[in-house]
Amino acid sequence: MEIILKYFSDFTQEQLSQLTALKGLYEEWNEKINVISRKDIDALYEKHVLHSLSIAAIADFQPGTQILDLGTGGGFPGIPLAIFFPEVQFHLVDSIGKKIKVVQGVAEALQLKNVTAAHSRVEDIKNRKFDIVVSRAVAPLADLWRWSKPVLKKSAVPGKQFEKGLICLKGGDLAQEISDSGLKPRLVKIYDIFPEESFQEKFVVLAKS
């Protein structure tokens, strides 16, 4: 938890309590359903929570913004972002039901009123649109954009540096992946935001049409 407070300081008491509770909740759920590797549980706040919050460091989501977390896994980046932005609505989806069970359990324990979760593929989401799609290394950029485009609203929302589109967390050499996608995304080096060794070669990728 100390590593979160190293970079963020303006949390409410409720947010601090929610963030502090994450470690115990994920340890408890991981005993039943393995959603986080054993070695990463010990580095939960750095490798999962702070990594997720790199999006919050560059995108100031306005109250009422609707965000889809595509392939959320155990709830990243959606759960940390939902704690950070309590006035923003998050819908977390994953095609693996047991992972959504964990997400629902964590969100309920934290009393996150701005989180909904569904065992669903993004292609099956009908009659609902979002301002922004977020995702964490679940597929190549071309696929993420293909899945995101049908569920993105046409009109933009106000934001600090990003209005509407796809924001994903990725690592490594992305040149081929970006070329294959046909997009011209903006890349932000996470190490420039949080200079921690584990964030070398990791990026926030912001893509829009």
User: 71: annotated binding-site residue?
Assistant: yes
User: 76: annotated binding-site residue?
Assistant: yes
Neighbours of 114 (CB within 10 A): 17
Any residues with CB less than 8 A from the CB of 124 and at least 6 apart, and which? none
Domain count along the chain: 1
Residue 126: its pLDDT value, please? 87
Residue 156: its pLDDT value, please? 56
Residue 163: its pLDDT value, please? 61
- Nearest by Cα to 89 from 67, 119, 56, 59: 67
Q: Which residues form the domain of 74?
A: 2-207
Residue 161: its pLDDT value, please? 47
Neighbours of 65 (CB within 10 A): 20
Which of the residues in the chain have pLDDT under 70? 155-163, 209
* CATH for 30: 3.40.50.150
pTM, 2 dp:
0.94
User: 78: annotated binding-site residue?
Assistant: no
User: 122: annotated binding-site residue?
Assistant: yes
User: 73: annotated binding-site residue?
Assistant: no
Residue 157: its pLDDT value, please? 52
- Cα–Cα distances (Å) from 131 to 32, 63, 108, 163, 173, in that order, read 34, 12, 24, 8, 28
**Measured between alpha carbons, how far is 92 from 202 in angstroms, rounded to an integer?**
22
The backbone region for 112, taken as left when phi is positive above 0, alpha when psi lies in -120 to 50, beta otherwise, is: beta
**Measured between alpha carbons, how far is 205 from 11 in angstroms, rounded to an integer?**
26
